[in-house]
Structure 1
Amino acid sequence: MPASSSRRAVLLAAPGLVLSGCAAQAQRAALPDFADLADQVLPAVVNIAVTGEQSAQIPAELRGTPYERLYRERRGRQQVQGAGSGFVIDPSGLIVTNNHVVGNANRVVVALQDGRELEARVAGTDELTDLALLRVDPRGTSLRAVPWGSSGSLRVGQWVMAAGNPFGLGGSVTTGIVSARKRDINAGPFDDFIQTDAAINPGNSGGPLFNLSGEVIGINTAIYSPSGGSAGIGFATPSDLARGVIEQLRREGRVERGWLGVAVQDNPAENRPGALVQGVERNSPAARAGLRQGDVVVAINAERVETSRALIRSVAGVPPGQTIRLGLLRDGRTQEITVQVGRRPAGTG
């Protein structure tokens, strides 16, 4: 064997597959470098520290005994502290995070990447999507903000970068890919999560998930973890869902959703799209429009309805009072009815 060939660089990519030095170099060149992206977006990523109160937990051995009342009187409500992440969407001081980060907070402090700490006010929260909007006074300066991107264009396998405050360490980024889309993890009626293998840990909640253009395509919200740390399965609320919620919180401080007043399930007919109406509430918008048990909703305003969850999400996005057209299958026949959408009652899951 010639000496030159023995010194040739090789890369064992898989059993039986050998890449030459040139091929290995080309493969490395195809991988993204996230350094410029991190420099671009990290100034808009913030750490959030919260202080709140919660009722003291009664030890099991004291429950139902005469000492339970005494314990409550002495311990009462306890101060608790927590940490999370967020990101600036407006230079004037608007910051997005998770509701579970700030929902019960008495005091919220936002730490910027330049070391400044600013008191924050909760401008609005939405429990059903676990989103919150904070407002800070940047004290005469403009904050660095990041733009929204479209989560609808994401593809499984696409590179993403998560940023935030894992375990209170601050200013951290991790990278990975989109592992799956439209995940339902039973967190709420609007579950539509992006699943990613970018490491997401406690403290990352409310932080942004970026595409390679530096656009926010998700808000890191939950992890699957038997141990409490990252197991390579994280979930982010898609930006296409979050943007509308945040805009309502910005304008009104609350979220109003459309409502029909029906109980639905997926169409039981094999391989058929649609939402089967199982029940109709009395005096609801659906009842007034003539919707019946057994109807299958297959379209809203001529847009196809695939599942019962898709129907719920679509109706929730319609402003209360607006009229929509529902395409139905009833007794084997196709028909269309109009419904004036109502306001989703508070506390409706």
Structure 2
Amino acid sequence: MLIRLTGRPGASLLLALAAASLPAVPAWAQDAVASDMLATLPTVPPLVRSGPLSFAPLVRRVVPAVVNIAVTQDVEDEGGNDSGRIKVPPALRGTPFEKQYRDRMRKRREQMLGAGSGFVIDPAGIIVTNNHVVGNADKITVSFSDGTELPARLLGTDELTDIAVIAVKPAKPLAWVSWGDSRHVEVGDWIMAAGNPFGLGSSVTAGIVSARGRDIGAGPFDDFLQLDAPINPGNSGGPTFNMSGQVVALNTAIVSPTGGSVGIGFGIPSEIVAPIVAQLREKGHIDRGWLGVTLEERPDQGPGVTIVAIDRSGPAMRAGLKAGDTVDTVNGDKVDSARSLIRAIAAAAPGSSIRLSVVRAGHSFEVPMMVGRRPAEDAG
């Protein structure tokens, strides 16, 4: 006897084998037997949560706060004249062609650097983007989803994390978005990216978080979220949202042999971006802590980072640290890599006090010390 049930893979075979060992039962009782057997099967809770039926409600809520950014830079004309005056050839002076010549040369002297994206975090006109989008611009123009265009000024940039803050003066409060906590983002979570790919204008893409903590060699503070939502040139500086409409990453880079998206994009987590943006708004630059050491990881010897060299004028030397010391914790927090130690020290305000747990010649002890100010070219 074979009892076939729909929607339960493998159930037909299981019940057929079980029925073969049962005594014959009347046809009227077969349904009752099958029902009793199904009741004894273990119930496994579903492991997969369904995705959103549509991203449209999320798009309507957050896209008005996503902006397109066009940047230009003034360059010298062919004669090397960058003083603002345009030299007109003598043959054209006083002729109808003089104005055309001046207009053409002005356009040539204003070079379009490119287009990028950004997002509003304050209705008064504060916008977050990448440093590589606006860092070298002489002129920044921000376009909104309703067609409004406004000039922007640069409030501050941080080259080491590729974060920048710009500001516009709107006639009325702008739509804005808030930060989410990227520490709660898990691999496999749904996300939506927004921006201005290839200068086409406002666009959105969806996907999942593919990995956390990626180091792509962009700088000493690399700690990217890897995203499979398509990100292309022009998406730089745009936001990645969680399903609550909060920004959990700043879209920054892609890996691609073609220049377009192949499903490997990277965003700076909000836990890094938000405090840097706050400092840039306040001071226009970032002051980072510094130890003055060269570090080496110990992959085969457990957690901690070993100091291999010390700057003679740095705070580590003044605190009594030595080459060969291993740093296990900073203010009680475990150190599991050179990057984690660098980030922990960089996050400390110059002049503040910290406690290092240090191992030297098998003995563990605590070193209180004052954090120095990180030189621009230093990594430790």
* Shorter-chain TM band: 0.7 to 0.9
Cα distance change of structure 1 residues 306 and 31 upon mapping to structure 2, 3 Å threshold = same
Q: Write the distance in 2 (CA, Å) between the matches of 1:221 and 1:269.
A: 33
Match of 2:226 among 191, 195, 217: 195
Partner of 1:131: 163
Partner of 2:348: 318
Partner of 1:289: 319
Report the AA paired with residue 232 of structure 2: N
Partner of 1:30: 50
Tell me how far 1:85 sits from its aligned partner.
Answer: 0.2
Tell me how far 1:155 sits from its aligned partner.
Answer: 0.5
Q: Write the distance in 2 (CA, Å) between the matches of 1:157 and 1:287.
A: 44
SS class of match (1:30): coil
What pairs up with 1:119-268 in 2 under 5 angstroms?
119-139=151-171, 141-268=172-299
Match of 2:69 among 34, 44, 48: 48
CA contact (8 A) 2:51 2:190 kept: no
Identity, in percent, stands at 55
Tell me how far 1:268 sits from its aligned partner.
Answer: 4.5
Tell me how far 1:81 sits from its aligned partner.
Answer: 2.8
Q: Write the distance in 2 (CA, Å) between the matches of 1:27 and 1:316.
A: 40
Q: Write the distance in 1 (CA, Å) between the matches of 2:109 and 2:224.
A: 34
Q: Write the distance in 2 (CA, Å) between the matches of 1:163 and 1:78.
A: 28
* More off after superposition, 76-85 vs 297-306: 76-85
CA contact (8 A) 2:287 2:350 kept: yes
Partner of 2:117: 85
Q: Deviations over 1:98-140 (max 9, x none)?
A: 000001101000001111001000000000000000010012x
Structure 1 stretches of at least 4 aligned residues deviating more than 4 Å after TM superposition: 26-29, 53-56
Partner of 1:304: 334
In structure 1, stretches of 5+ residues that fail to align are 13-25, 57-75
Report the AA paired with residue 319 of structure 2: A
Report the AA paired with residue 126 of structure 1: D
Partner of 1:63: none
Report the AA paired with residue 313 of structure 2: N
More strand by share: 1
Q: Deviations over 1:247-277 (max 9, x none)?
A: 000100100000000000212443x111110
* More off after superposition, 204-213 vs 47-56: 47-56
CA contact (8 A) 1:320 1:343 kept: yes
Task: Output the TM-score relative to the length of structure 2.
Answer: 0.78
Cα distance change of structure 1 residues 55 and 101 upon mapping to structure 2, 3 Å threshold = farther
Q: Deviations over 1:266-318 (max 9, x none)?
A: 12443x11111010000210000001100010000111111111000000000
CA contact (8 A) 2:72 2:110 kept: no
Partner of 1:105: 137
- Alignment RMSD, CA only? 2.3
SS class of match (2:138): strand
* More off after superposition, 324-333 vs 27-36: 27-36
CA contact (8 A) 1:261 1:286 kept: yes
Q: Write the distance in 2 (CA, Å) between the matches of 1:27 and 1:183.
A: 26
Partner of 1:68: none
Q: Write the distance in 2 (CA, Å) between the matches of 1:53 and 1:138.
A: 25
Tell me how far 1:347 sits from its aligned partner.
Answer: 2.9
User: Number of residues paired by the alignment?
Assistant: 308
Q: Write the distance in 2 (CA, Å) between the matches of 1:314 and 1:28.
A: 36
| Structure whose CA Rg is larger | 2
